């Protein structure tokens, strides 16, 4: 007797034809899964044969296109995109340790090590903690919603594909290009910042020389695809985690009088110059900076299609965000606020002198400890290279998703035999050549405007993830399904996503006010400041206009809940076996000591 398999929503494989044409396509894909496995075995044998002909031949053949079966020509463009994403040939090589470490330290970079200095200067230590805590609650809710979505739908492109599925293709188009713009300029910007950071030790060597070295290093890492990215980020994140923990311990010792001068600091700088700077406007500016500092937290959502076991690794990884916010941001920023007064002139340093503007480096220098500033500067350098490496991974997957959805030239969806989005990676590296602008005297002006194109990108991304989660839950309810049928359920629920949408709207409003009437401008409007910081909104409107023109204004602004497809791309499981596994896991955890249960709840 054959076993009956079902999707997590309870839909039987035999019921696909009654659901949608896409369901029929996916059913066909499942029926041909054995053939696919046979073809993969054949390819494996073929690869072994090629090894005999030499490494170079094998290396070249690895870039040939991965051959996929034809899609049903009767499918619509959106249905084809969803079917392609559901059976993506991307390499599934990211292990649990990779994703855990990416979740913990993947987004710990310049936003924390350097951006915190600007926030401290603008708002004071109290604003720093309050704003990061508020934004942190939103981030945690967002990644929990993201985990629920990508575990249920571990498709290529992650939440970028789900925007089109749960909101509308129009908004999916805007957000996909918005996210691509955010990350396409990350590589050149981070490489330039890394080359500038090296000036801390040697200002005689031209920055372009260091850019070449860092560029070649990142290209080398990404030749190995997702595995190369995962191993590199594991190493980078481990270094950053150890550095932050070490700084926290160092800061506690120095604050308590354990420094060379033996002076007890305590909460001195909270009284003089004070806990808050520049009133409510200063508070709002820190509110915005906190959002920018936590950009990239959603990276784990793009790893689902390349994870070995999304159901187990993604939920566990998203829980690590709690520790990242609590330990790396809240505790370390508390130490920074205790060791560095908000009126320290070095906090005014521009991004071109990032090595001296870092409040972490300033704190060590103020303590009078020699040698450690160089160590912290090495960590900042590694953080910049890490973010640049992440930029290649994210941008290439985003561009590939654009090609899959028909939002960009089809060639961008090219995936080679080793599971790498080769063409999208090439495009990312070509744009990365902008890093050689480091040799021009106007580098800071140019890159400030490049950054302006993606300044608010993360805010829109987070808000859209929360909105997609809300729409997904509405669709489940409409189809009389319950969350008990899901492999993972968001710890913050649908109300966490509601909070996420509201807070992101408030951040946009705060940014509008701060940018139009910046501090130190006598309450007058500043058009230059406004457009430089709010340019991303105009970019989204521009992309929106392009889509409307292409579709001749015949678009769906919001997909009705009754028409949301909760079948295509859904993880194919035996629901009864899944429930049994979950029950066994809960029973095993319940049998353990209380500290182990607490650990598993948060990890």
Distance CA 277, CA 381 (A): 30
- How high is the mean pLDDT of the chain? 76
- Per domain, the residue ranges of the chain are 93-343+359-572, 575-602
Band of the pLDDT at 231, cuts 50, 70, 90?
A: confident
Distance CA 288, CA 459 (A): 10
Band of the pLDDT at 40, cuts 50, 70, 90?
A: very low
Percent of the chain's residues with pLDDT above 70: 72
> What is the per-residue pLDDT for 457?
86
Q: Helices 527-550 and 169-184 sit at what angle, rounded to 10 degrees?
A: 130
Distance CA 256, CA 267 (A): 10
Which tokens hold the place of 332? 């370390």
In contact, 320 and 122? CB cutoff 8 Å:
no
Band of the pLDDT at 125, cuts 50, 70, 90?
A: very high
Band of the pLDDT at 250, cuts 50, 70, 90?
A: very high
Res 100 pLDDT > 70: no
Average pLDDT of the segment spanning 287-304: 74
Superfamily of domain 93-343+359-572: Amino acid/polyamine transporter I (1.20.1740.10)
Exposed/middle/buried for residue 221 (C-beta within 10 Å: 0-12, 13-18, 19+): buried
- pLDDT tens string 157-184: 567 778 888 998 899 899 989 888 888 8
> What is the per-residue pLDDT for 302?
63
Which tokens hold the place of 438? 């480091």
> What is the per-residue pLDDT for 81?
52
Angle at 600 between CA 594 and CA 603, to 5 degrees: 140
Distance CA 90, CA 155 (A): 10
Band of the pLDDT at 69, cuts 50, 70, 90?
A: low
Which tokens hold the place of 417? 């035999």
In the numeric block, the tokens 């900076």 are attached to 289
In the numeric block, the tokens 């860092």 are attached to 214
Q: How far apart are the first and last CA of the chain?
A: 40
Distance CA 478, CA 561 (A): 7
Neighbouring CB atoms inside 10 A of 23's CB total 22
């Amino acid at each position: 007797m054959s076993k009956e398999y079902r999707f997590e929503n309870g839909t039987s494989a035999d019921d696909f034809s009654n659901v949608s044409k896409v369901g029929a396509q996916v059913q066909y894909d499942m029926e041909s899964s054995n053939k696919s496995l046979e073809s993969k075995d054949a390819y494996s044998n073929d690869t072994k044969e090629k090894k005999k002909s030499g490494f170079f031949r094998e290396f070249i053949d690895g870039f040939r296109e991965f051959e996929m079966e034809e899609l049903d020509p009767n499918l619509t463009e959106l249905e084809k995109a969803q079917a392609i994403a559901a059976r993506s040939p991307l390499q599934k090589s990211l292990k649990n340790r990779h994703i855990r470490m990416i979740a913990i330290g993947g987004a710990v970079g310049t936003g924390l090590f350097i951006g915190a200095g600007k926030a401290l200067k603008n708002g004071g230590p109290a604003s720093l903690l309050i704003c990061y805590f508020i934004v942190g609650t939103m981030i945690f809710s967002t990644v929990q919603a993201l985990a629920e979505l990508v575990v249920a739908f571990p498709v290529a492109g992650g939440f970028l594909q789900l925007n089109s599925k749960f909101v509308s293709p129009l908004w999916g188009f805007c957000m996909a290009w918005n996210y691509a713009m955010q990350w396409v300029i990350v590589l050149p910007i981070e490489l330039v910042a890394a080359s500038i950071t090296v000036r801390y030790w040697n200002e005689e060597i031209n920055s372009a020389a260091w850019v070449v070295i860092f560029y070649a290093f990142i290209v080398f890492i990404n030749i190995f695809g997702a595995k190369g990215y995962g191993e590199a980020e594991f190493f980078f994140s481990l270094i950053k985690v150890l550095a932050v923990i070490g700084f926290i311990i160092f800061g506690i010792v120095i604050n308590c009088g354990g420094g060379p001068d033996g002076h007890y600091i305590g909460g001195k700088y909270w009284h003089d110059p004070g806990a808050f700077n520049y009133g409510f406007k200063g508070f709002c500016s820190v509110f915005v900076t906190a959002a920018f500092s936590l950009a990239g937290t959603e990276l784990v959502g793009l790893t689902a299609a390349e994870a070995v076991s999304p159901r187990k690794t993604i939920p566990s990884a998203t829980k690590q965000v709690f520790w990242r916010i609590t330990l790396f941001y809240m505790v370390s920023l508390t130490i920074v606020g205790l060791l560095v007064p908000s009126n320290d002139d070095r906090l005014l340093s521009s991004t071109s002198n990032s090595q001296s503007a870092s409040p972490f480096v300033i704190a060590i220098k103020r303590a009078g400890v020699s040698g450690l500033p160089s160590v912290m500067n090495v960590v900042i350098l590694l953080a910049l290279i890490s973010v640049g490496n992440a930029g290649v991974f994210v941008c290439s997957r985003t561009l590939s998703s654009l090609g899959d959805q028909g939002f960009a030239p089809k060639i961008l969806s090219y995936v080679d035999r080793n599971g790498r989005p080769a063409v999208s990676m090439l495009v990312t590296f070509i744009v990365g050549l902008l890093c050689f602008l480091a040799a021009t005297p106007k580098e800071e002006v140019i890159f400030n405007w490049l950054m302006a194109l993606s300044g608010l990108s993360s805010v829109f991304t987070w808000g859209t993830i929360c909105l997609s989660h809300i729409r997904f839950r509405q669709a489940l309810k409409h189809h009389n399904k319950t969350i008990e049928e899901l492999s993972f359920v968001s710890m913050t629920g649908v109300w966490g996503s509601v909070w996420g949408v509201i807070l992101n709207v408030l951040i946009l409003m705060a940014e509008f006010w701060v940018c139009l009437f910046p501090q130190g401008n006598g309450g007058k409007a500043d058009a230059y400041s406004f457009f430089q910081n709010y340019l991303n909104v105009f970019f989204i409107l521009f992309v929106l206009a392009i889509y409307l023109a292409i579709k001749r204004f015949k678009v769906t602004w919001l997909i009705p809940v009754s028409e949301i497809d909760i079948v295509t791309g859904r993880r194919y499981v035996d629901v009864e076996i899944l429930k049994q596994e979950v029950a066994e896991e809960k029973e095993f955890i319940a049998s353990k000591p209380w500290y182990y249960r607490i650990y598993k709840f948060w990890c």
